[in-house]
Amino acid sequence: MAVNKTINKRTNTHGAMRNCIEYILRQDKTSELLAYVTGPYCHDEINYDLVYRTFLEEKKMWDKDTGRMYAHNIISWHKDEQITLEQAFEFGKQFAEKWFSGFQTLVAVHKDKDHIHCHLVTNSVSYEDGRKLHNTRKDLERMKKFTNQMCRERGLTVAEKGKHFDGSQIEKGEVIAWSKDKYNLFRQQVKDSFVADCAMAVLKALENCISKEKFIEKMKQFGWNVNWTEKRKHITFQNQDGKKVRDSNLSKTFHLDISKEGLENEFNENRKQARDNRRENEFAGYYRQVEVACTGSGKDSEYSDNREKRIAGEISEVERVYTGVSGKNTQFEDRKTETLLRESRIARRNSEIKRRNSASDNRTVRNAEAESIASAEQRRSEEQKWLEEQERARAKAEKEYKN
């Protein structure tokens, strides 16, 4: 399982670039055999001073010795991944040559941890045409996919979101802190940790919460004030003791997305679920009415008979005074009513069959039911519109007849 991470630290000074290169080439972390520079490099030896000067000379050649100096990536593998240092080194070299093509990149594999990881430091100025290196959010997503593709080609494990190395699901709220000290704190003293308490409050507040305002109100009930403004990138939670927790800290410590975007997505899902529940109740009531109409029993049937007689009476009256109306319209309306009832019965039967066959098809079934209801509503609207037109025609004919 290879995880490709871009380090977003300050990279716009010569000192920062020099320090990064020096750290990566430390003898206690790597060896000369596991270090390489892609692109122009005229020295036999690889050390931090020579690499730094080579990067700097390339920038000055193109007169681009300002702004962002370098990009720093770390490709790391799980401790149980079957990969050697040499294989990791070749992996990093191939990635650098293909992804950072045209840019000098220092590749070095570190062996000082319980898991193998490869550092890549890329010069921000291309040695081919002098263009600056830019990585957008989409580029980072493509970088991740390219890393997974290289893993598949080598028979290595591919990282899956929400799953452990062995493929098992990470439970929501499970601690996955990168820091061992922080991990042990939450595992052993979770009840005494205000950060863990904040995470639990967020999970409880998110249940059935459909808006930012409701979420803030619920968090306040749990003893946490929420500072959520458009001007600030992050959300800050503060308890009654004045202790503060940032959303990014919760997201990194727990397997949760507690960013602004993540919370808004939760609100949208809860709203959608509430709408679906209301629609199911409406559908149930509608089908009960259709069933009564189909069997011809109860008050609804009596009301339907009276309504049909009233409509038929109105049409007959129009036929007597306005010759443009014929008895075929009544038959047409009867056929429309029968078609509506038949389609409703079919829609309900199909809906029940689909629900029995697969619970995962519920959304499709609800959409089909909604379309059937919408179609029925449209027919009733057309029927009402037609009756109103006939009423106006009848009134006009009576007026002309009296004159």
Structure tokens at 375: 């179609």
142 token code pair: 């493509």
DSSP helix/strand/coil, 224: strand
Give the tokens for residue 108.
């070095």
CB-based burial label for 86 (10 Å; 0-12, 13-18, 19+): exposed
- What does the alpha-carbon distance between residue 250 and residue 224 come to, in Å, rounded to a whole number? 14
Question: Does 253 score more than 60 pLDDT?
Answer: yes
Domain boundary among 153, 168, 201: 153
Give dist(CA 279, CA 334) in Å, integer.
28
Same domain, 126 and 191: no
Q: Say what the pLDDT of residue 251 is.
A: 81
- For strands 236-239 and 244-246, give the pairing: antiparallel
Residue 175 in any domain: the answer is no
More confident residue, 263 or 189: 263
d(CA 260, CA 236): 11
Does 11 lie in the same domain as 113?
Answer: yes
pLDDT of 180 higher than 60? no
Cα–Cα dist 27/281, whole Å: 69
> Model confidence at 378, in pLDDT bands (50, 70, 90)?
confident
Rounded CA separation 19/13 (Å): 10
Q: Does residue 10 sit in the same domain as residue 114? A: yes
What mean pLDDT value characterizes the chain? 76
- 68 and 211 co-located in one domain: no
Residue 34 lies in a domain: yes
- Average pLDDT of the residues in 159-163: 63
| 107-129 per-residue burial string, b: 16 or more CB within 10 A, e: under 16 | bbbbeeeeebbbbbbbbbbbbee
Higher pLDDT, 70 or 366: 70
**Other Cβ atoms within 10 Å of 156 Cβ, number:** 19
264-271 long-range contacts, Cβ below 8 Å, gap at least 24? 264/212, 266/206, 266/209, 267/209, 267/210, 267/211, 267/212, 267/215, 270/206, 270/208, 270/209, 270/210, 271/210
Residue 260 has pLDDT above 60, yes or no: yes
Answer whether residue 166 is part of any domain.
no
The total domain count for the chain is 3
User: Is the same domain home to 137 and 189?
Assistant: no
Of 258, 287, 308, the last residue of a domain is 258
CA gap 86, 118 in Å, rounded: 11
Q: Are the beta carbons of 149 and 141 closer than 8 angstroms?
A: no
In a domain, 265, yes or no: no
User: Which class for 254: exposed (0-12), middle (13-18), buried (19 or more C-beta within 10 A)?
Assistant: buried
Quick one: average pLDDT of 41-45?
86
Shared domain check, 209 and 138: no
Distance CA 229, CA 247 (A): 13
Which residues on neighbouring strands pair with residue 72, listed in sequence order?
Answer: 7, 121
Do 47 and 87 lie in a common domain? yes
d(CA 81, CA 157): 7
| H or E element, residue 3 | strand 2-7
CB 68 within 8 A of CB 11: yes
Determine the distance from the C-alpha atom of residue 252 to the mean position of all C-alpha atoms in its chain, rounded to a whole number: 18
Cα–Cα nearest to 215, from 202, 227, 232 = 202
- Residue reference for tokens 């309306």: 333
Which residue shows structure tokens 């300002």? 66
Least confident segment among 21-25, 62-66, 161-165, 359-363: 359-363
Are 302 and 335 found together in one domain? yes
For residue 215, the enclosing domain spans 180-258
Residue 295 in any domain: the answer is yes
- Residue 185 sits in the same domain as residue 134: no
Q: Looking at the structure, tell me whether residues 49 and 106 fall in a common domain.
A: yes
Residue 173 covered by a domain: no
Residues 6 or more apart whose Cβ sits within 8 Å of residue 323: none
What is d(CA 45, CA 41) in angstroms, rounded to the nearest whole number?
10
pTM for the whole structure = 0.46
Q: How much of the chain, in percent, has pLDDT values that exceed 90?
A: 15
H or E segment at 375? helix 362-402
Do 337 and 223 share a structural domain? no
pLDDT of residue 311: 42
* pLDDT of 209 strictly over 80: yes
What CATH number does the domain containing 71 carry? 3.30.930.30
Q: Is residue 380 part of a domain?
A: yes
- Give whichever of 81-95, 155-169, 190-204, 312-326 has the largest mean pLDDT: 81-95
Q: Distance (Å, rounded) from C-alpha 172 to C-alpha 39?
A: 45
Residue 3 CB neighbour total at 10 angstroms: 14
Last residue of a domain, one of 258, 290, 309: 258
Average of per-residue pLDDT across 263-276: 82
Measured CA to CA in angstroms, residue 154 lies from 87, 195, 351 at distances of 10, 41, 47
Domain membership flag for residue 268: no
Radius of gyration of the chain (CA): 35
Average pLDDT over every residue of 317-331:
44
| pLDDT surpasses 50 at 230 | yes
202, two tokens:
């967020």
Looking at the structure, do residues 149 and 6 belong to the same domain, yes or no? Answer: yes
